[in-house]
Amino acid sequence: MPWNSPQNRPDWDHWCRKDRWTIEEAVALSLGLSPHFATASKLERHASTSPSAREFIVRRDIALTAKRVHLIKDPLAPIDFVSWAEAKQFGLPEEMKTKLAEYGDRMRDWKAEYEWVDEENRLLRAKLETATEHPAGVLPPTNVSGASPADNEKPLGARERETLLKLLITMAVKKYRYDPNGTPGPAPRRIAEDMAELGFDVSDDTVRNHLKKARELLPGISRKN
């Protein structure tokens, strides 16, 4: 197959201006191939003879698995694919990264996003502490005045506690690249470190245990310890 012919190379100006890529488009681009040329139906026929075709099939399979466990979306923003692909140590064309930077894909307000994560951490920590210390149906002790020490907050019920765990796993997967169907990786440590910056003394193991409970709420993942 004429892999290196000009018509099989991507028009980087066109593709890097797009706000979303499908997984198949992104995988083709990650190999420096035009998505119009490199499609699964076409390359599967050549996987036994072409290294490029085999690599396309492998990357596409890994990406589709990541989609199934909610690590990436389909379609997804180009920068989200690049971040995920680099974490998987996939080689990416320099021209792809250069053009994405040129068209402003890296000009997100990361500081604002980080501050949002910090605030989510603070709120989740407060809620999870309440859920842990005061199980459903057990009222917290009252002080001398008769008011509860948590400003008369009601104890969390099972549904609210489940919602908080869903918030936790969503934040961990989307913001900390936590893999709910694999090894925990650095996510528990990073979450604990960010919480420490906010003044919360939470160990990696505590975060890891809450994530273990929370991942059971995700659909379509194996229930491995």
pLDDT in tens, 61-102: 999 999 998 889 999 989 889 989 999 999 999 999 999 888
Residues sharing a CB contact under 8 Å with residue 146, sequence separation 6 or more, in sequence order: none
Q: With a cut of 70, which residues of the chain have pLDDT below it? A: 1-4, 104-121, 127, 129-156, 184, 220-225
Peptide bond into 184 cis (omega under 30): no
pLDDT in tens, 17-38: 998 999 999 999 999 999 999 8
Reading the block at residue 11, the tokens are: 């028009």
As a whole number of angstroms, the distance between CA 187 and CA 189 comes to: 5
pTM: 0.50
Q: Taking the domains of the chain in order of start, what are their residue ranges?
A: 6-102, 110-215
